Structure formats: structure tokens, C-alpha cells
Structure 1
């Protein structure tokens, strides 16, 4: 019981529950690096034949079930459940080809295939190397611009020096062969690619993540594994927080001891400053004594309590006053469970 009720919103605790299924079509470099990173996280990885190339999915070893009535996790016989996440890894060149394709093998058709095979999953498109491709694409545009400018500045034919007509026959035979000119590269309008990315997010509601090299792709497989491992526990915590007021550790600074916590609690009341809180704590050392004092003395019991000038409780000449006394009295002695006074 204690084991299954550990705080599993910590990814270090929840990650070893995960099993990562890597597709058989994934690049060998990514596969080897991902397996190494997952092994370091105590995560098992296997391979599977994905209906769509390069799709990573996740499974979980489930050993507990949350009991809503009792408000805690209970151990159950271990089973393996499929997580509702599917991540497809697409190199930049393939992504661009999908965007530019005009036949059935286009990006729209790829998305529909993903949704058909993974209808209940949150689909993630991990595009590798698109930033590098964008830089190369801009270089093509710049070269084309420079070439166009130079072609417009060429000299007329009569100003070009005539080519040498007399060369030894032997030199002509042994002249080095010139390489064939490379095929001209085509510039792709960047707005077309950006529009495609926007459509994936806005029209299809998919998640998109970018990486640069295979090592980064493998690292993000591990990062997504850690994040997905905490999802059910964070969801259950959020639902519990919605049912009642609760804050995570660290959002409110805790006291160094019982007295410091008592003083900080008093300062959460509106208009109760630190000098007033220390003065009240000096007069009534505990919450129980404060409540009894207010019940016996009435709404103005704290009116003449002197404020404190320091943490040691040294009193000053100024007093708490009637307004603050009535506010504290109403909060500590009120019986209205719907009251929001503080």
C-alpha cells in the first residue's frame, strides 16, 4: 500500500513503469541512441511493425488503481496498458515532399492515415532537421538572386576575348575532363511550409516538435517518455485539487516551526501585517488559545492588543484596532461554511 501511494508526479518514480515501442522502420542511429537513453532511465524498449512508418508508441505497467471513495491508490495485479500517445518521426526532406505532393501521397493523406490507425491517441509530429533545411532553402534563393543579377551584368559578345584557337594536339588530348554541372536546385516558398505546420496544429489539432539531429530526436523520445509517465498521476492530482482547495509544495513558503507557521497563517488574513501577527501570537501562543480568547472576549477582544516591533514579541505603543479585531473574530469563530472572508 505504501509503495503504490508514493508521489508519482515525480518523473523519477513514474518513468520505470513505461515501455517504449520503437518502429522497425526507424533510423538505426536514432534507435541505438534512444535505447541507450531509455536504458539509463530504467525503461524497457521493444520494436514493433507500425502501420505508418516511424511511429513511436508507449505502454505502461499498471500496478495500482485509484479508489475515489477512500482517496488513495490500491495495489492490483500487474497488467500492461497502452498509453494514448503516438509520435511519428519525419525527416525534413520527407515532410517537404509531403507538403508539395499533389497526389494521394500528400500531408493531408498522411494525417488521415495517422488518425485512422490511432483514433484515440494524442498524435505528435516530430520533424527532424527542418531548421537546417530552411537555411539551405534560403541559400538556394540567395544563389538564384546572385545568378540573376550577374547574368544581367554580362558583357556583350564583342567585348569577350576570343578563345585560344591554337593549342597543341597533345595538350587537348590530356586536358582534364570537366564535371557535369549539378542539377539546378529549386527554391520552395517558406510560407508553404509554414502554412502546412499551421494546418497540422489548427485544423487537425496535432502537436508538433522540432529537432535538428538524430541524437536530439533520441533524447526527445526519452523526454516524452518521462512526461507521459506522469500524466495519469498529474490528472488525478488536479482532479483532487479541483474538489478542494490545495496547493503544491513550494507555492507558499512554510514556517520554520510551529510558532513561525502560526504567525504566517495570521498574515494570510487581510490587513493583518507582520507586527499585528506577532502581537497576537505574543498574547495568544496557539490557535486554540486564540479561539478561546475570541469566544470569551467577543469581536473586540483583540482591539487593545499591542503590535509587536520584532519577532521576539517586543510590544510597541500601537494597538491592533477594532476593524482588524472584528475581522479576525469573524474568521476564527464563524460558522458559515460558504464564507470567503479572509
Structure 2
């Protein structure tokens, strides 16, 4: 091999080595670039995952907070609906301008403001009108058997109060315009229930009766027949018997109640009128919560007596049985302190007669009137047994 060939081979070897180094360098650079891209991609994905995780956690927390707030509102509206003041606070009472003036208006305001009701005045072609609206923040849900919060809305109530003094009422009857007037009112307030407040009815009837008795007594004394009119007496007689009698008024009241379906409330004076308006306004406020499932117009509060504890409740339950007085109930409590105790005692009897006479040896505590050694009689003992252990579902408990 000559020298020239050796140089050529050496040059080729150097060239191959240089080329190999370049390839390795490019490969290293590509590897580093790939690693950098992979690192960037990993960092991007990791950051994106962290953000998504944070957003997810934030949404979960927000949903939980919303659920808590919703539950809080749910509990609040169901709690408040049994608070009398919160019920009446919802009411907006619209009073016609003529009623606001004078003593009656002042007294009505006093009664309604005590109940935290909102009072508003308005002008109407018919004087003496009172309307009702309600601020509604919850509605009843039959499926949940509870109130559900809703955005506040104003709803009109179905009741319309119409105030009349007896003189105006009598004038309508004398003019034979009462029916027409009431029917026109019902057309104006369509689908509303009219409540007619009449002031002074009892006083008017009492005066008419006194006048009639005096006229009759005078006629008897002087021998004058009431059916005969004399020229000198006709004017006086017309003054005495002026206005419809009680029978005619009662006929009109019956028409109002049975035919026109108007509820009538009588008041004796201005003070009682204002008080009645306050009471009935409270009753209207409570109707959705006390009579949701019925058509009862007005309810009377405190009809159901409640006990302060187990023993007191058991004592009051016994007193609901006819002829069971408080001393008798306490005597039974001394022997049987709970319902289960009395029930077990009845079940422990071998015969029905023994069970019926179970309470005959129960001593009635002294009521302070000097009575001693009194016991529950057989009839009452049997009655209590039949009420607690009887199988007749149609039996009347009184």
C-alpha cells in the first residue's frame, strides 16, 4: 500500500469520526429538546390538572354552601310560620280613606300596628271598604308537607270587609236597595268573600223594642187602638215607628247569609268595631297555616288544651272524658301515673266486670271543701274502661 492510499484512508477515518460526532451531537440535542418538550408538556398537564382540581373543589364547596343556605332557609320559613307575629307581619291592610279619619281610624291603626301589619290607604267609590294582601315568601308543598321558600311576592287575600253603621243599613232596607247594593259589590269584588260589619244592630233593636212597648203601654192606658190613626197623633206615631222592625231586619240578614253568602259581624260601638277588625285580620293572616286543608273561614285559637309535661297532659286527657273532673283525674294519676300503667292494669284483669270496676276503689283527693273518702263510682269507672279499651270505632266519646 503506497503512501497516497494511506493518506486517503486516514482522511476517510477522520471524516467518519467527525460525522459520527456531529450525529451524536445532533442526537443529544434532539434528546434534550424532547426531554424539554416532555417536561413542558408534563408541567402544562400537571398545572391544568391542578386548576381543574381546584375548580372542581371550588364548585363542590359552592354547591355545599348553597345546599346549607337552602336548608337554612327551609328550616327558617317552617319555623316562622308558627309564630303569630310573623304571620300577621306578612299582612298588608288596605283601608278606604273614609275609615281612616276620626276615632275609628285611629283605633284600627292601633290594633293593626300592634300586630306589625302594614297599613295602606286608598280611594274607592264605595266607602267603608277594607282589603287584604299578603307578602308571601314561602308556599306549601303537599309532597314535603312543609313550606318551601320562594322569591317574595304580593298576593291578594280573598276577604273584603264592608263597614256599615246601622242607620245606613236601615236606610238601604227602607229604600229596598239592599239586595241591589250587595249584588253590585259582589260584582265589583269578583271571586271575593264579603264580610259585612254592622255597628249598632243590637242597640237599634233594643230601642225599637222599648219604643214598641211604650207605645203599646200608652195605648192600653188611654184606650187608643194602635191601628186607628187620628189627625193629632199621626205625626207622633210616625216618629215612633219609623224604620223597619226587627223582624224585617232579620229577614234581610237571613237573605244576606243564605242567598248572598255574606258573612255578618255585629259590633256595638266604635271601640268594639276596631277590636273586631284587628281580631279578624289576625285570623285571616293565620288561615293558610292553620286551615290549609279546609274551607273554615275563621278559626278560634286555644280550643285545644295542651299540657306542660307528661303528667299534666295525661291529667288533661282524662278530663276530656265526661264527668272526669280535675280531682278525679288526679286520683287516677295517683294510682296509674301513665297511660301504659292503666292499660297494663286493664290487661291484667281476668274478667270484663273486673276491668270495668278497676277504678272504683280510686280515692278522689280532697278539694278543700271538707269532703272525705270519696271514690270513683262504678258508672264512671265503666265509662273510662269503655273509652280506653272499647272495640267500637263508632262509639261517641264525650
Residue 215 of structure 1, aligned match among 247, 271, 281: 271
Map residues 288-327 of structure 1 onto 2, 5 A cutoff. none
Contact 1:52/1:113 (8 A) holds in 2: no
Question: Offset of 1:134 from its aligned partner?
Answer: 1.1
Once the two structures are TM-superposed, the CA of residue 251 in structure 1 deviates from its matched residue by 7.1
Q: Is the Cα contact below 8 Å between 1:11 and 1:227 reproduced in 2?
A: no
> Is 1:195 aligned to residue 251 of structure 2?
yes
Match of 1:273 among 343, 347, 372: 343
Instruction: Describe the SS at the equivalent of 1:53.
Output: coil
Residue number among 72, 85, 89 corresponding to 1:12 in the alignment: 85
Gaps (5+ residues) in structure 1?
154-180, 240-247, 257-262, 280-339
1:134 paired residue number = 205
Between 11-20 and 29-38, the greater mean CA deviation after superposition: 11-20
* Structure 1 residues 35-86: Cα deviation after superposition (integer angstroms, max 9, x where no partner): 0111111111111123422011111111112233333212222111110000
Pair 1:186-2:241 in alignment: yes
Judged with a 3 Å threshold, the aligned counterparts in structure 2 of structure 1 residues 238 and 123 are, in CA distance, closer, same or farther, namely closer
Where does residue 235 of structure 1 map in the other structure?
291
What secondary structure is seen at the aligned counterpart in 2 of 1:66?
strand
The number of residue pairs the alignment matches comes to 243
Say which structure is richer in helix.
Answer: 2
Query: Cα distance, 1:30 vs. partner?
Result: 1.1
What's the CA shift for 1:3?
1.7
Q: CA deviation at 1:253?
A: 9.6
1:60 counterpart = 2:116: no
What's 2:124 paired with? 50
Are 1:51 and 1:117, in contact at CA under 8 Å, matched by a contact in 2? no
Could you report, residue by residue, the CA deviation over 1:102-135 in whole angstroms, capped at 9, with x for unpaired residues? 3xxx110111022101121111111100111112
* Partner Cα separation in structure 1 for residue 106 and residue 307 of structure 2: 44
Q: Aligned partners of 2:270 and 2:156: how far apart in 1?
A: 26
Q: TM-score, normalization: structure 1?
A: 0.61
Deviation at 1:273, TM superposition (A): 2.6
Say if 2:155 is the partner of 1:81.
yes
- Tell me whether 1:224 sits opposite 2:294 in the alignment: no
Q: Contact 2:128 / 2:164 at 8 angstroms: preserved in 1?
A: yes
Alpha-carbon distance in structure 2 between the residues aligned to 1:129 and 1:123 = 19
Q: Partners of 2:174 and 2:79 in 1: how far apart?
A: 50
Given that residues 95 and 121 in structure 2 are in contact (C-alpha distance below 8 angstroms), is that contact kept between their aligned partners in structure 1? Answer: yes
Report deviation, 1:186: 2.5
- The equivalent residue for 1:295 is none
Distance 2:192 2:294 in 1: 21
Which aligned pairs between 1:321-336 and structure 2 lie closer than 5 A? Answer: none
What is the match of residue 115 of structure 1? 186
Which of the pair has more CA radius of gyration? 2
**Partner SS for 1:236:** coil
In structure 2, the CA distance between the partners of 1:2 and 1:249, relative to structure 1 (3 Å rule), is farther
Distance across 1 between alignment mates of 2:256 and 2:83: 31
Q: Say which structure, 1 or 2, has more relative contact order (CA 8 Å, 6+ apart).
A: 1
* Deviation, structure 1 residue 252: 9.2
Q: CA RMSD in A?
A: 3.9
SS in 1 for 2:241: coil
Q: Secondary structure at the match of 1:273?
A: helix
Tell me the secondary structure at the aligned position of residue 123 of structure 1.
Answer: strand
* 8 Å contact from structure 1 (residues 10, 230) kept in 2: no
Q: What is the CA-CA distance between 1:11 and the residue it aligns to?
A: 3.1
Moved more, 114-123 or 139-148: 139-148
Which segments of 5 or more consecutive residues in structure 2 lack a partner in the other structure?
1-73, 225-235, 296-302, 312-336, 349-392, 394-398
Equivalent-residue separation in structure 2 for 1:194 and 1:50 (angstroms): 29
Tell me how far apart the structure 1 counterparts of residues 254 and 238 of structure 2 sit (CA, whole Å). Answer: 32
Q: Against the structure 1 CA distance between its residues 32 and 52, is the aligned structure 2 distance closer, same or farther, given a 3 Å change threshold?
A: same
Aligned equivalents of 2:307, 2:223: Cα separation in 1: 70
Shift of 1:266: 5.2
Give the deviation of 1:16 after TM superposition: 1.1
